[in-house]
Structure 1
């Protein structure tokens, strides 16, 4: 019954009076589904929050509750959610700043627009985790103040905050102009020097693997530098020197920045670690010359990531497509191709280039139809889901290429009901096609009945509104809970059946 009720809670056709009944018997899981309903009234939201306390937070974030609906003493987590949405009372913030729960004070520190006295209170909290959370999300002025905090963990959080002033970030990354940190999470708990065992057996230990402190708080300072390197507000001149740093993680953090001089990208493109070179390859800030160098990289992942660079020249992309596993995805450079480039790609002698173009779903009809008649099955498979293709062209694809294109044809938005039925009877059967048919809006009851025989397509078919009502009702007792929930959520489930599924109080 639990899965039936969860499914009913998602059923868009559930009438208001049955929503009321379901609220009265809902458990936490059912309440979570009910809280997502687009038609949930304010009165129903208040009733749900009162019946299932855990749902109040979700309802607050969904905008279903107001400050008048929440008692911050009895529902502190819902009050936090409203504060996070900037619709809570300032008095709530003052109350929660003194909450005995560290987790709640941490959540409060994330909220924007807090009264200044609350920020002062949080900045002086007895638990450094609260101060660090504040430092991560606070304003520019407060970030500058907290950069001088004696605890290195707070400074690490300031380094990740994009509101931190650039000059302060530069000081954090170099250490110049700031007093030395006095403590870190490691020396707070352990005798110096200490290196945390990467396979620590202590169940109550929350130190990161490899965390260490010899008095200089080295692991936290390293994390702080990494955070600052990833922070786009950190000045370019403060980060360029890290291109040759012995730490792989610091070089890697630098590789994704888009504000570096070309010679720095060149040094990173020669890094011995493929992951660093791969991040550089996808970086839209690198120039044409470096793109062509990286196109010859020995690592296949570097070359694959280069194909995702929005500025890769088409000739380089075409060459890479023939030797690199790109997958069925629309690449940024292909999506941005001009009409002239689209025609050029469509005429390419390389099937891989035509296949990349076929991933677009906005092609001119003449190019779309030409690719649909392509002799290469991979090109046809890529174009098969393009809207606007006629039934005759779709059937011709299957006649020429068989099982290689059946699933993609089934995913075409213009596939007719008759064609979808035929695809579910295709010999040999294509498992992916059943899933595509089961989610297709044009699928008929007969086609969906055939999909029920496939284990992965069965839950999808059970939720399809074209499935006959009596079949939907039968699936409510299925052995697969996913099928049960999908059937209960099916808007074609008869109202009388819905009513009978909800227990009477």
Structure 2
């Protein structure tokens, strides 16, 4: 078989109207096990793809999927983010390379339920080719990260380098002296960036990824620093070394006065700056430099407020998926009480922020603070979530509707809004009248039409029309208003 199987997009593009309708049925919450098994047995690759990849499945159907004779069908299941990963793990020893590759690749972003059992990850590491490992690192359970550095299997120990910076000095030293040559070599490759002589020898003389990595993260010798200062290869070279922790302080002082504002902005992020250097950067001619130094941890609130910084709201405010354990509660409190909106934004991103600070930041004057709180705190209040959605129009706006407390009651009035994304709010509400849902199913915006086609209050007449609509048949097929009898009749009509 070719190592270039048809893409999911191509499979869907080739699907005819009946197949698209049945793909919707595959996602319908009223589809029972018998319906799902009949869909799994049909001829359409598009139907099997949607069924195996895009929903949770009862155990009887999972059993049929993992033993399905078609390897493409099994491969779709390997990347399913909705099922228990232990079910996907049943494919670990599949006979076909494509199935194994999709299992190692795992669910795309957002990852959904992605962490495979530790014994499955070990099996993959010890039996798969390196080329098949895909994005396996995203599927390793956090508990396994502590066992891998001392695992009896060399290939598993070698994978611990994925988290090299999180390993203890003792673990790093053990891997550098590992009895396995390949493990030692990989450890050396991670460790040698800390050797100035190695960095000097290995530094490419042209702009490339390797040069960027070494200038930003490698141990810089005086010779390398002098070369970069005297004859930078690229315009970003000076900014790269300006952020390198090994840069000598006298050179840092020199770069604080560099004519390139990007270099000075990078310097402004360094904690080692003296009071005089901070003061000079606080009055820099470039607003980005002034803004960067204005959040320096050594400054007092009074010093921050004296700086002419600029904070805009034209950026992305999204969900960061960073656990509360990664935040310092005392620092988050200081930041929440700061007069600086960028520090309050940092506090607003902390999912562990206590209730008093959630209440405080919910009425913050800065849009970024309010939206970041709404996107990241599990107890963000419903009013804040809705108001943030209505005011924020940047990327990841719709993800606000997926937050735990987002309101779904009394949204029908938004069906008249000029903004199509606001019109979609009406389709989150179960009380929206059937006539309104019917009208929105013919909306000029494709996302509005798609949401309306799945709304349970879509009229039976309109739902019947959409089941024959090339664009919306798959959405209509998933509509929970379709009774099991209709689903059975639709499945009975399939060929194959």
Give the structure-2-normalised TM-score: 0.56
**Distance verdict in 2 for CA 1:484–1:339, change over 3 Å:** same
Distance in structure 2 (CA, Å) of the matches to 1:115 and 1:334: 36
> Unpaired segments of 5 or more residues in structure 2?
1-16, 106-120, 138-150, 158-174
**Distance verdict in 2 for CA 1:237–1:15, change over 3 Å:** farther
**Distance verdict in 2 for CA 1:370–1:21, change over 3 Å:** closer
> Does the Cα contact within 8 Å between 2:361 and 2:369 map onto a contact in 1?
no
> Does the Cα contact within 8 Å between 1:147 and 1:172 map onto a contact in 2?
no
CA drift at 1:167: 6.7
Show the counterpart of 1:225: 211
Distance in structure 1 (CA, Å) of the matches to 2:330 and 2:279: 20
Name which of 63, 78, 83 aligns with 2:99: 78
> Does the Cα contact within 8 Å between 1:173 and 1:228 map onto a contact in 2?
yes
Show the counterpart of 1:444: 432
Name which of 447, 451, 456 aligns with 1:461: 451
CA drift at 1:27: 1.3
Indicate yes or no: 2:60 matched with 1:39. no
Distance in structure 2 (CA, Å) of the matches to 1:110 and 1:82: 10
SS in structure 2 at match of 1:175: helix
> Does the Cα contact within 8 Å between 2:437 and 2:457 map onto a contact in 1?
yes
Show the counterpart of 1:15: 32
SS in structure 2 at match of 1:417: coil
CA drift at 1:66: 3.5
> Does the Cα contact within 8 Å between 1:295 and 1:320 map onto a contact in 2?
yes
Show the counterpart of 1:254: 241
Indicate yes or no: 2:315 matched with 1:325. no
Alignment of 1:106-505 (within 5 A): 106-107=131-132, 164-166=190-192, 170-175=196-201, 218-219=205-206, 223-231=209-217, 234-235=218-219, 244=229, 246-247=232-233, 248-258=235-245, 260=247, 262-281=249-268, 293-299=280-286, 314=301, 323-327=310-314, 329=317, 342=336, 345=339, 368=359, 413=405, 415=407, 417-418=409-410, 420-425=411-416, 429-438=418-427, 440=428, 444-445=432-433, 448=437, 451-452=440-441, 453=443, 455=445, 457-459=447-449, 461-462=451-452, 465-468=455-458, 470=460, 471-478=462-469, 481=471, 483-502=472-491, 503-505=494-496
> Does the Cα contact within 8 Å between 2:258 and 2:264 map onto a contact in 1?
yes
CA drift at 1:455: 0.8
> Does the Cα contact within 8 Å between 1:258 and 1:284 map onto a contact in 2?
no
Q: Which has the bigger relative contact order, CA under 8 A and spacing at least 6? A: 2
> Unpaired segments of 5 or more residues in structure 1?
97-104, 120-138, 150-157, 177-215
> Does the Cα contact within 8 Å between 1:140 and 1:164 map onto a contact in 2?
no
Q: Deviations over 1:434-486 (max 9, x none)?
A: 23444x4666345655654351541562365544363555434445x3x4444
Distance in structure 1 (CA, Å) of the matches to 2:195 and 2:303: 38
> Does the Cα contact within 8 Å between 1:31 and 1:52 map onto a contact in 2?
no
**Distance verdict in 2 for CA 1:443–1:268, change over 3 Å:** farther
Distance in structure 2 (CA, Å) of the matches to 1:425 and 1:87: 55
Give the structure-1-normalised TM-score: 0.55
Q: When the two structures are aligned, how many residues end up with a matched partner?
A: 399
Structure with the greater alpha carbon radius of gyration:
1
CA drift at 1:265: 4.2
Q: Deviations over 1:121-145 (max 9, x none)?
A: xxxxxxxxxxxxxxxxxx7579x97
